[in-house]
Amino acid sequence: MPGNTSKRYPAELKARAVRLYHECRPDQPTDWAAMGHVANLLGISTAETLRKWVRQDEIDHGSRTGTSSEESAEIKRLKRENAELRRANAILKAASVFFAAELDRPGL
């Protein structure tokens, strides 16, 4: 079932899975094997899901380059705010056009 895994898996499970991955990684031959092992233990649909969580955790802790979760949340908030301001601006423009037309109209 493709889609946003943040809705399917609670944050506590994600944190536990990442922690378990780091704990069991030395005992596994590859990163992928460790991810598969933890995914099977915790009932995570695929090791790829866990891989994304691990990579994001590395970004959040500064050991990998990329957009942190905090930065992503801020960008999302700013995009929402920008869209809201654009809607408000469009309403104000429409209102000013309406009232300007009313001023130009001869009185009844």
CA distance 13 to 42: 8
Q: What's the pLDDT tens digit per position in 16-51?
A: 999 999 999 999 999 999 999 999 999 999 999 999
Mean pLDDT, rounded, of the chain: 91
CA distance 50 to 27: 17
**Structural contact between residues 59 and 49, judged by C-beta atoms closer than 8 angstroms:** no
Asked if residue 6 has pLDDT above 70, the reply is no
Give the whole-number percent of the chain exceeding pLDDT 90. Answer: 82
CA distance 36 to 76: 31
For 58-65, what is the mean pLDDT?
A: 93
Give the whole-number percent of the chain exceeding pLDDT 70. Answer: 93
Asked if residue 105 has pLDDT above 90, the reply is no
Q: What is the DSSP string of 30-63?
A: SHHHHHHHHHHHHT-S-HHHHHHHHHHHHHHTTS
Statement: the pTM of the whole predicted model exceeds 0.75: no
Q: Classify residue 13 as exposed, middle or buried by CB count within 10 Å of its CB (0-12, 13-18, 19+).
A: middle
For 74-88, what is the mean pLDDT?
A: 98
pLDDT of residue 4: 59
CA distance 108 to 23: 82
For 64-78, what is the mean pLDDT?
A: 95
Per-residue CA distances from 34 to 27, 46, 57, 79, 102 (Å): 8, 12, 16, 37, 71
